[in-house]
Structure formats: C-alpha cells, structure tokens
C-alpha cells in the first residue's frame, strides 16, 4: 500500500509540474494572440491562428485534476465560435442595412403619395463588430488570467491533499458501479432478499403477481428492493401507512432488525408520532418544508419548545387522555407563494408581531436540541407549555420511573 501511495504521489507531482511548465510557456503565446486579434485578419487566417494556439492548450492541462479545467477544455470550441460569429456578422450586417433602407424608402414613398400605410419597418438587426472582436479576445484573456492565477498559487499545491482527493474520487465512483449479472444470479439475489425480509417460501413466491401478496408482504418486497443495492442509508417514507396495527409492528420490527444486521442508518418520514417515539434516536419536526425543531427523542417528547410541536403532541391521543384533543386551526400555507415571516404564524395562537415579519432562526436549547421560534428569544414573553402536554409528560415520566415503559 505504501508503495502504491508513493507511486501515486510521484504521478501527481509529475502531472502538476509538467502542466505548470506548459502554462508558463503558453502565456507569451496568449499575449501575442490578443495583439493579433486586435488587428485585421481574414477568416482563414483567424482560424489557422486559432488552431495553432489551441493545439498548445492540452499540454497545459493537469490530467490528474479532479475538477476539470472547463476554461482550458472549451478553449478551442469557444475561440472558433467567437470567430465564426464575427465573420457571420460581417456578411449579415450589410444585407440587414440594405433591407432596412429599402423598406424605409418604400414606406416614405407611399406616405409621400398620400396613401395610408398600416405597416412598420422591421428594425434592423445588426451586430457591433467591435464587440464581437472583443469577444474573441475575451476567450484568450480568460484563459490567460486563469493560468496566471494558477501559476501564482502553485507554491501552495499539496501533493498529499491531491492524493486524498483522488482516492476519495475513486471510492465514490466505485460505490456507484453496478455489476452486470445474469438472470439466474439476479433471481438468486432476489430470493435471498425476499427470505431476509421475512417472505415465507420465497422460491415459490418469486413467480407470483403483486395481487397475490397481502399489504404487509408488499411492504416487505418494497424493503427488499431498497436493500438490493446494499445502501448505507434506508429512507422509509410512511412505511406503515394503510397497514393494520399488527402488520405495522411487524414491519417496524423488521426495519429495526435490518438496521442492526446491516449497520444501516434509517431515515423515517412519517406523521405517526407513535412510530417516531418507538423508532427514532433523533427527530426533526418539519413544517412547510423546513425543520422547525430538532433534537433527541427525549428532547422532543419531554421538552418540546416549538408551538407546532406542541400542537402535534396535543392532537395525539394515548390510553390515558381524558381531555379533549386540540386540533390545529387553519390550513398550511401555499408554498408557491411563501408567506412573509414564520410559515406557521397564521395557525399559531402564540404568534407575536415579529412572526409575521421575519423568519425565526434556530435557537439553541441544548447541545442536542434546537428550535426555530421567536418564543426562545431572550426578549420574548414567557409562554407556558399547554397543560395537555405537561400532563402527558408527567404520566410518561411516572410510567418510566415505575418500569412500565
């Protein structure tokens, strides 16, 4: 491995120094090119000069750069395009001038005869040849300035940093490789995944249609599909929707099992706070496309700080709830036309004037807990958490102390 890293460093150093030396050699040529294109030339002469100049550029490109030099790579095409545009304008401008003069004379002649003229002369569309010539020189100047900046920064070049970048690049690309497999290999992989997610008799089930599977089994198949590419992160978007309580529990147990066996990180997207309470280590509460509160499960359920989090918890029933559940008034905002200030302000009974004027930043509650509400500002009035939530927190703490949960 050390030998490989040594060879890599030598290759990086050679590629960089070779490209740097060629950049230095090219700079006088670019300066000459600017003076050349300031003068007079035919299209054939301009094209020939551009070819000679552009042929020198590839040698000045560091082939081991991760972020490719687009200015250098596109130099030939950009220069030729600017030259073509300049000479095209030389042809079209006189024609356009003649057309405009002819139409103007015709219109004036008709008006002089006292005739009604109900049409206008189309404005002439001509190009500024000086600007187009400046565009040619701009292509050359842009490459010259870029190379001057790179030569000036060359003393800060770090071979080891470039080596790390290259290794990381190959690691990323390697992780994206999808190997070609035969149909038989794909079938065996599918059957193995079906077995892993708890599908009984997977070899027989393999040939069945979706309508022959129950809702819970279909959800298991979807999880198997997600696992086929060996992901590091499993994103579960409403994984328990439309499933009965028993099947929900089985699916959540399966996801927890896979998380441990495959060392996965799992992102749950759900409106079911019961699922959140049982599954999540960290919770992000979102409203109108933005995170409004973030913290551990302990933070969110035992010390909520955002009014939207209060509203969610107040609307969630449990076995001991005797009070009337609160509903969140109003409707979510139309985010095609985002509201000024806090998106939750119209539905927030604790909203202050500033909520309708300015979006709140994330205020730090603790090292693990943050919330985007002006109520956490030092100058904000003191607001008590709703009683229905404090009662629920007290019950949860009591059950936790008694070993019930």
Band of residue 371 on the pLDDT scale cut at 50, 70, 90: very high
Indicate if 235 and 165 belong to the same structural domain.
Answer: no
Indicate if 33 and 141 belong to the same structural domain.
Answer: yes
Indicate if 16 and 74 belong to the same structural domain.
Answer: yes
Indicate if 53 and 5 belong to the same structural domain.
Answer: yes
Residue pLDDT, tens place only, 182-213: 899 999 999 999 999 999 999 999 999 999 99
For residue 260, the enclosing domain spans: 183-276
Taking 90 as the threshold, does the pLDDT of residue 130 lie above it? Answer: no
The predicted pLDDT at position 344 comes to: 95
- Alpha-carbon distance of 322 to 340, in angstroms, equals 38
Q: Considering the entire predicted model, what is its pTM?
A: 0.55
Which CA distances in Å does 302 have to 18, 109, 372, 392? 63, 88, 17, 9
Query: 140, 175, 210: which is the final residue of a domain?
Result: 175
Q: What's the chain's average pLDDT?
A: 89
Q: Where would I find the H helices in 265-330?
A: 273-279, 297-302, 307-314
The predicted pLDDT at position 346 comes to: 94
Which of 90-94, 270-274, 362-366 holds the top average pLDDT?
362-366
Indicate if 166 and 187 belong to the same structural domain.
Answer: no
**What is the mean predicted confidence (pLDDT) over 277-292?**
93
b (16+ CB within 10 A) / e for 202-218: beebeeeeeeeeeebbe
Indicate if 227 and 97 belong to the same structural domain.
Answer: no
Q: Lowest-pLDDT range, 110-124, 202-216, 281-295?
A: 110-124
Indicate if 163 and 265 belong to the same structural domain.
Answer: no
Indicate if 150 and 288 belong to the same structural domain.
Answer: no
**What is the mean predicted confidence (pLDDT) over 309-317?**
88
């Amino acid at each position: 491995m050390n030998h490989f890293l040594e060879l890599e460093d030598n290759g990086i150093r050679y590629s960089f120094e070779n490209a740097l030396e060629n950049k230095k050699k090219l700079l006088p040529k670019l300066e000459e090119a600017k003076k050349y294109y300031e003068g007079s030339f035919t299209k054939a002469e301009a094209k020939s000069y551009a070819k000679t100049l552009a042929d020198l550029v590839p040698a000045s490109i560091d082939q081991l750069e991760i972020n490719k030099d687009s200015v250098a790579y596109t130099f030939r095409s950009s220069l030729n395009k600017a030259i073509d545009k300049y000479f095209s304008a030389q042809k079209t401008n006189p024609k356009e001038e003649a057309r405009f003069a002819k139409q103007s004379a015709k219109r004036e002649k008709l008006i002089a005869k006292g005739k009604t003229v109900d049409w206008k002369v189309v404005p002439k569309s001509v190009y500024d040849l000086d600007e187009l010539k400046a565009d040619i020189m701009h292509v050359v100047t842009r490459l010259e300035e870029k190379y001057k900046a790179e030569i000036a920064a060359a003393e800060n070049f770090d071979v080891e940093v470039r080596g790390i970048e290259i290794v990381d690049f190959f690691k990323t690309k390697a992780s994206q490789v999808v190997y070609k497999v035969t149909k038989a290999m794909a079938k065996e992989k599918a059957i193995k995944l079906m077995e892993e997610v708890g599908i009984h008799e997977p070899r027989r089930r393999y040939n069945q249609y979706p309508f022959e599977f129950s809702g819970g089994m279909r959800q298991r198949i979807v999880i198997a599909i997600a696992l086929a590419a060996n992901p590091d992160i499993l994103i579960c978007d409403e994984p328990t929707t439309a499933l009965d309580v028993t099947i929900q529990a089985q699916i959540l147990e399966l996801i927890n099992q896979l998380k441990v066996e495959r060392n996965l990180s799992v992102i749950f997207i759900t409106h079911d706070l019961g699922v959140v309470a049982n599954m999540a280590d960290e919770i992000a509460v979102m409203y109108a496309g933005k995170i409004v509160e973030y913290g551990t499960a302990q933070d969110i359920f035992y010390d909520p700080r955002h009014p939207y989090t209060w509203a969610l918890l107040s609307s969630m029933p449990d076995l001991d709830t005797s009070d009337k559940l609160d509903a969140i008034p109003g409707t979510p905002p139309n985010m095609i036309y985002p509201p000024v200030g806090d998106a939750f302000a119209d539905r927030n009974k604790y909203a202050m004037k500033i909520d309708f004027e300015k979006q709140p930043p994330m205020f730090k509650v603790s090292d693990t807990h943050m919330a985007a509400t002006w109520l956490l500002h030092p100058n904000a009035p003191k607001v008590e958490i709703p009683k229905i939530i404090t009662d629920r927190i007290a019950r949860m703490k009591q059950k936790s102390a008694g070993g019930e949960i």
